C-alpha cells in the first residue's frame, strides 16, 4: 500500500496501522473536498451574520453563554488550544501520534466540522513529512473527547509546541520551517474542531486491537506446542463438540489446534495414554481462546465505526441548515471496548501461564522438573514461570475497568466522563505483558518438545519448533534467558515466517 486516501467515511483499521507503523503517505480524497468547503462556507455565513452559535462565537463548556465578538474569534480559537494543552507523564510513541493525526484529519474530512480545507491539508502535510507533535499520555478524561492530548497535537499547526522531526526534538515553528510547511492561523470553530473528539483513545485502541488479533493466533500456536510437549490429547477439539456450543471463535480456535498438531508422531505414540482428562488450560483452549476471538470481533466493530465518525461538537449540517450541539465527543463506546480488550487479552496470558506451570510439573507433564535435566543444580525454567506469574498478576489490576469511574469536570458542565483514554492505555500495557507470557510459553513448549525426541510434533508445530531452534538453543544448563525471550518476541512479531 503506497497511499491512503481519507474522506471521513472509508478509513480501515489496517490503513491506520500502515500509516502509523510504516509511514505510508496520506491524501485527502478529492471526493471529500466539496463537502469540506460546503460546511466551511456555512460556518462562515454564521460568523458574517453575527448569529450566536455555540462553539463558533461563544465560550466553551460552562462559558457557553459568553458571546465572543467577531474581531476576537481567531484569538478565542488560539486561546482554546493553548489553555487545553496541559498534560503530564511519558509521551505517546511516534507511531501512536501518527495514528492520532490520521484519525483527526479523517474526522475533519467527513465534512461536519466546519474547518477550512487548508487546516486539514496542513495536518496531512505534517503527517507525510514526519513532523510528529510531542503529546503527553496523561490528562484526558475522555468526555469532551481527548481535549488535552489533541491540544498538544494542534499546537505545532500554529507554529507552537514541540515536535520530533528527523529524530530530533525541536520547536514546532522550527520544524515546520524545515519541512516547508506554513503554520496556520485558526479561524472560527477550528480550534474546537481540532481538540474535541475521541481520536487519541481510538488511535491507541486500533493499534492495540490489531496486535491482539495477531496475539490470539500466536496463543493457538503456543498452546498447540504445549499440548504436544505435555502429551495431552486433542480429542476435546473435535468439531462435534464445537457444533453443540456454536461460537464462531471457539470453532476457529479448535480448528486451528487440530490443524496445527496434524501428523503428530508424539500423539500417535501416546494414543494409549491412561490419562482420562487433561488440565483445563489444555482441554479448554477453544473455549478460552475462542471467547477472546469473539470479544476482539466485537471490539473491531466498535472501532470500525469510531474511526469514521464525526466526534467533535457542535456538528454542522449545512444541507439541513443546522448546527447541533450534542455529545458525540463522549468516549463511552471506546472506553467500554478498551476495558473489554484488557479483560480478554488478560485471559490469553492467564491460561498461557497455567500451561507453562503444567509443563514444569513432572506430576502433570511427565517432563523433568522445571524442564531441565539436572534440577537442583539448575533452576531451568523456574524464573520464567515466576516472571509469567508476575505479569499475569499485574494484568489483573490493569484489567480493572476504567470506564466505571467518572469525575465531574468543568464546574459540573461535564458531569459524566468516560475515562476512555485511560482504558486504552491500560489495554496497551496488558498486551505487552501478554506478549511476554506467550513468548515464555513458546520457549517452555519448545524445551518440552526437546525431551520428546526422536518423536516429531505435528507438521505445523514442528515447523514453528524448528524456526525457534534456529534462533534459540535448548537450555541444557542455567544461562541468562533474557536474550532468549527477546529473540522469541522477534519471531512472534514476524509471524514465524
Do 237 and 135 lie in one domain? The reply is no
Q: Which cell numbers hold the place of 298?
A: 466485537
Q: Answer yes or no: do 211 and 191 share one domain.
A: no
221-250 pLDDT tens trace: 999 999 999 999 999 999 999 999 999 999
Residues 141 and 265 in one domain: no
Please state the domain count of the chain. 2
Residue 378 has pLDDT above 80, yes or no: yes
Last residue of a domain, one of 175, 197, 219: 197
Question: Does 345 share its domain with 394?
Answer: yes
Q: What is the mean pLDDT of the chain?
A: 94
Summarize pLDDT for 37-90 with one digit per residue, the tens.
999 999 999 888 878 777 777 766 656 567 777 778 888 899 999 999 999 999
54 counts as catalytic: yes
167 lies in the same domain as 238: no
Residue 469 in this model has a pLDDT that exceeds 80: yes
| Statement: the pTM of the whole predicted model exceeds 0.85 | yes
Look at residues 197, 215, 233 and tell me which one is the last residue of a structural domain: 197
Per the residue annotation, which of 54, 247, 397, 465 is the catalytic one? 54
Locus of grid cell 498478576:
393
Residue with cell 493553548: 82
pLDDT (tens digit, 9 = 90+) per residue, 99-124? 999 999 999 999 999 999 999 999 99
What range defines the domain where residue 77 resides? Answer: 3-197
Residue 58, pLDDT score: 73
| Same domain, residue pair 229 and 121 | no
Between residues 71 and 374, the one the model is more confident about: 374
Is the predicted pLDDT of residue 208 greater than 60, yes or no?
yes
CATH at 338: 1.20.200.10
Q: What is the pLDDT of residues 310-354, one digit of tens each?
A: 999 999 999 999 999 999 999 999 999 999 999 999 999 999 999
Domain shared by 241 and 154, yes or no: no
CATH number of the domain enclosing 51 = 1.10.275.10
Dihedral sign computed on CA atoms, order 383, 385, 389, 394? positive
Listed residues 164, 181, 197: the one ending a domain = 197
According to the model, what pLDDT value does residue 60 have?
65
> Per residue in 274-308, pLDDT tens?
676 899 999 999 999 999 999 999 999 999 999 99
Is 87 in the same domain as 189? yes
What per-residue confidence (pLDDT) applies to 50? 79
Q: Can you give the pLDDT at residue 25?
A: 97
One domain, residues 482 and 343: yes
In this prediction, residue 65 carries a pLDDT of: 63
- Supply φ then ψ for residue 90, to 5 degrees: -65, 165
Indicate whether 166 and 213 sit together in one domain.
Answer: no
Assess whether 300 and 412 both reside in one domain: yes
Query: Does residue 388 share a domain with residue 307?
Result: yes
Amino acid at each position: 500500500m503506497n497511499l491512503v486516501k481519507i474522506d471521513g467515511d472509508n478509513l480501515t483499521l489496517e490503513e491506520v496501522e500502515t500509516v502509523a507503523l510504516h509511514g505510508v503517505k496520506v491524501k485527502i480524497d478529492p471526493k471529500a473536498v466539496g463537502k469540506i468547503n460546503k460546511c466551511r462556507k456555512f460556518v462562515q455565513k454564521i460568523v458574517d451574520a453575527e448569529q450566536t452559535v455555540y462553539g463558533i462565537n461563544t465560550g466553551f463548556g460552562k462559558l457557553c453563554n459568553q458571546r465572543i465578538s467577531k474581531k476576537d474569534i481567531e484569538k478565542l480559537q488560539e486561546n482554546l488550544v493553548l489553555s487545553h494543552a496541559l498534560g503530564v507523564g511519558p509521551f505517546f510513541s511516534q507511531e501512536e501520534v501518527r495514528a492520532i493525526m490520521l484519525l483527526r484529519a479523517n474526522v475533519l474530512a467527513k465534512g461536519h466540522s466546519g474547518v477550512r480545507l487548508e487546516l486539514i491539508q496542513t495536518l496531512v502535510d505534517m503527517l507525510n513529512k514526519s513532523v510528529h507533535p510531542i503529546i503527553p499520555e496523561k490528562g484526558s478524561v475522555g468526555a469532551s473527547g481527548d481535549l488535552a492530548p489533541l491540544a498538544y497535537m494542534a499546537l505545532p499547526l500554529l507554529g507552537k509546541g514541540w515536535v520530533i522531526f528527523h529524530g530530533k526534538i525541536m520547536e514546532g515553528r522550527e520544524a515546520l520551517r524545515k519541512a516547508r510547511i506554513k503554520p496556520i492561523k485558526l479561524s472560527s470553530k477550528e480550534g474546537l474542531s481540532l481538540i474535541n473528539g475521541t481520536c487519541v483513545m481510538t488511535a491507541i485502541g486500533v493499534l492495540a486491537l490489531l496486535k491482539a488479533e495477531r496475539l490470539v493466533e500466536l496463543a493457538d500456536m503456543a498452546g498447540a506446542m504445549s499440548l504436544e510437549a505435555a502429551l495431552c490429547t486433542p480429542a476435546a477439539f473435535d468439531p462435534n463438540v464445537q457444533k453443540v456450543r456454536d461460537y464462531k471463535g471457539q470453532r476457529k480456535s479448535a480448528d486451528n489446534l487440530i490443524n496445527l498438531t496434524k501428523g503428530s508422531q508424539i500423539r500417535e505414540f501416546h494414543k494409549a495414554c491412561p490419562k482420562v482428562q487433561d488440565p483445563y488450560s489444555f482441554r479448554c483452549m477453544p473455549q478460552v481462546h475462542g471467547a477472546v476471538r469473539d470479544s476482539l470481533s466485537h471490539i473491531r466493530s466498535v472501532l470500525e465505526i469510531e474511526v469514521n465518525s464525526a466526534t467533535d461538537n457542535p456538528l454542522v449540517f449545512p444541507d439541513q441548515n443546522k448546527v447541533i450541539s450534542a455529545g458525540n465527543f463522549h468516549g463511552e463506546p471506546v472506553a467500554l471496548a478498551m476495558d473489554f480488550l484488557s479483560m480478554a487479552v488478560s485471559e490469553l496470558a492467564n491460561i498461557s501461564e497455567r500451561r507453562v506451570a503444567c509443563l514444569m510439573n513432572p506430576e502433570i507433564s511427565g517432563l523433568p522438573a522445571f524442564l531441565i535435566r539436572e534440577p537442583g543444580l539448575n533452576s531451568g525454567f523456574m524464573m520464567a514461570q515466576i516472571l509469567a506469574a508476575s505479569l499475569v498478576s499485574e494484568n489483573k489490576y490493569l484489567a480493572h475497568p476504567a470506564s466505571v469511574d467518572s469525575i465531574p469536570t468543568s464546574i459540573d458542565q461535564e458531569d459524566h466522563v468516560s475515562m476512555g483514554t485511560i482504558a486504552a492505555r491500560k489495554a496497551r500495557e496488558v498486551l505487552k505483558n501478554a506478549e511476554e507470557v506467550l513468548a515464555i510459553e513458546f520457549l517452555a513448549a519448545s524445551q518440552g518438545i526437546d525431551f520428546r525426541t526422536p518423536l516429531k510434533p505435528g507438521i505445523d508445530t514442528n515447523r514453528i519448533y524448528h524456526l525457534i531452534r534456529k534462533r534459540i538453543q535448548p537450555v541444557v544448563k542455567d544461562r541468562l534467558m533474557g536474550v532468549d525471550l527477546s529473540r522469541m518476541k522477534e519471531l512472534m512479531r514476524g509471524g514465524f515466517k
